[in-house]
Structure 1
């Protein structure tokens, strides 16, 4: 079965997450240097069947896009689409994901030194983006009494 990949794109580090085969849960996958992203996909997509990627859409509180980051994301999306045209690309508002991820790190009891690591923060953010997408797109199953 195919899976969905979540991406928290950053100028330096990009967080990645992946769904289970039933597309119910998102799990942190990795966080890698953004410059290595296409090489990562070249290897990763040989082993994993991915039907779709969900890329975070950076917005300000006033609902306007973060233009500088968005330009870089659009370049990545274009490059990805040319290389992998059969994999669909969707976007999801990523406002507050970094704050939620940081809060999660505190709740998990991570020490300050660990919380400063962008790798962990970006991976958790990617997981939040993907789980939010799954929650929004999966029909709610009715409870049976």
Structure 2
């Protein structure tokens, strides 16, 4: 069992780097999460293009069309991309 130190949540933004309309759904969730886990660090991280990247990766992996159309699989892959990007940004950010 792993100890959770931080929760990373995708932050939907427009191409102009402004919060997208989806934030109206995410903000209540964030409020509840922070209420339930007041001592947990919660970080928002830019999720722009992660769904597109996930679909491209599924194509490159040769996944069947029926699998690529499963939203939960695409969301899972996008979440993996968000977390990977976040961890890389922390790693490279510590070099400077």
Counterpart secondary structure, 2:18: coil
Cross-structure match for 1:104? 57
In 1, distance between residues paired with 2:51 and 2:28?
Answer: 22
Pick from 58, 77, 83: which aligns with 1:124? 77
Residues 137 and 114 from structure 1, CA distance in 2 versus in 1: closer, same or farther, beyond 3 angstroms? same
Aligned-residue CA RMSD in angstroms?
1.8
Q: Report the TM-score when normalising by structure 2.
A: 0.90
Cross-structure match for 2:20? 66
The gaps in structure 2 that reach 5 residues or longer are none
Deviating above 4 A after TM superposition, structure 1's stretches of 4 or more consecutive aligned residues are 139-142
In 1, distance between residues paired with 2:66 and 2:35?
Answer: 39
The gaps in structure 1 that reach 5 residues or longer are 1-46
Q: Report the TM-score when normalising by structure 1.
A: 0.61
Cross-structure match for 1:49? 3
Q: Which has the larger share of helix? A: 2
Shift of 1:63: 1.7
